[in-house]
Amino acid sequence: MSNLRVGIIGLGGIARPHCEAIANLDGVEIVAVADLLEEKRCEYMDNYDIPRGYATHTELLEDDEIEAVAIVLGHQLHHRLTVDACNAGKHVLVEKPMAISLDQCDDMIAAAAANGVKLMVGLTQHFYGTSVKAKEILDSGVLGPAITGVCYMSKNWGYGSRRPQYRSRFHGGGMWMTNGVHVVDRLSWVMGSQAVSVSATIGNRAHYQAADDSATAFIRYKNGTSGVAVAVGYADGGPNHECQVICANGSLRFSESGEKYVRVGKDNRWEDVPFDDPPNPMHNEWKGFVEAIRKDIEPPTPGEWGRHVMEILFAAEQSSISGREVPLASGGQWTHQQSGTPVNIDHGWI
């Protein structure tokens, strides 16, 4: 079987781990990149032996050899570029956050469905070795049903090097959209349910910018559990990236950044659990995307899941403004798969 031929759209810092993952993965290769800056195009073409470079995404999408694209530009560009790529018949892996409004998310999902292509959102927290092992433990049932969870991403916001669009909520920036998306995704995944409502406090407390830098959200889930998501971009402090799940017959703690670990709590003590570390942070993500295309199955983090994560994020913002708990639009009903495609038994919504 020939390799899946991929184009990378946008060559900022996050493009590098995407390229490194593909370079170390069988069955996929990068055949083109697109970026407005010629210097960036040449750098990536030289470093990763990529044959073609284009100044715009429209030129890249006209390349008939390309079967799939990775969209790794600013948050405010995800919607337009994804729709264009789907309409060009390309499978799409789009970086988080999926988009900056639910209408945009719906457009992206509809474009993928209309053109018969896969749409996957790059929610990396699903794919780390620590996260995979943690979910494996929870799914095994050895700890019993989950009762509650607390998920953190507390780190230096890096204001001085943060690009303007990421310091502007108008463009989809701020700590909550940029990194809170990871916290909400990870928490919701390990709690094993869709959310029903959110109560949150979100604000700008440490930096001069037109977006938030801190958020705490209490999320109720449709299976009767609840959890807390904390995302703080401080000016100075100590980082915390841990997720903790308290279950009926034990507890679980895991973290990828900083100290890397998976720990199970039983008999009033914590024990480290070994886990498989992939060759690079996006290895499992790209492996899942390629598999979804090759086998015609639902991607591990499909557009519908990415939309649900965004629905939680937007509801949290509404709650912070109103001072009230905000029900999600889906209310007490469950959203459901519409594609009718098989699912990956090793990964996904549950």
Q: Which tokens hold the place of 55?
A: 């100044």
Task: Tell me the per-residue pLDDT of 71-95, one tens digit each, with 9 for 90 and over.
Answer: 999 999 999 999 999 999 999 999 9
Write b or e for each residue in 114-124: b if 16 or more Cβ atoms lie within 10 A of its Cβ, otherwise e: ebebbbbbbbb
pLDDT at residue number 149: 98
Q: What is the pLDDT of residue 346?
A: 78
- Enumerate long-range contacts of 321-325, CB under 8 Å, 24 or more apart: 324/199, 325/197, 325/198, 325/199
- Say what the pLDDT of residue 13 is: 87
Q: Is the pLDDT of residue 262 over 80?
A: yes
d(CA 169, CA 75): 10
pLDDT digits 0-9 by tens, 20-77? 999 999 999 999 999 999 999 999 999 999 999 999 999 999 999 999 999 999 999 9
- Which pLDDT score, from 0 to 100, does residue 15 have? 96
Q: Name the CA radius of gyration of the chain, rounded.
A: 20
Peptide bond before residue 97 is cis, with ω within 30 degrees of 0: yes
Question: How far apart (Å, rounded) are the C-alpha atoms in residues 107 and 5?
Answer: 25
Q: 253: helix, coil or strand? A: strand
Q: How far apart are CA 210 and CA 297, in angstroms?
A: 40
Cut 0.85: pTM above it: yes
- Which whole number is the average pLDDT over 296-316? 97
pLDDT value of residue 345: 78
- State mean pLDDT over 119-137: 96
- The mean per-residue pLDDT over the stretch 7-25 comes to 95
Task: Summarize pLDDT for 203-258 with one digit per residue, the tens.
Answer: 999 999 999 999 999 999 999 999 999 999 999 999 999 999 999 999 999 999 98
Closest CA to 97 of 69, 68, 125, 129: 125
CB 300 within 8 A of CB 41: no
Please state, rounded to an integer, the average pLDDT across all residues of the chain: 96
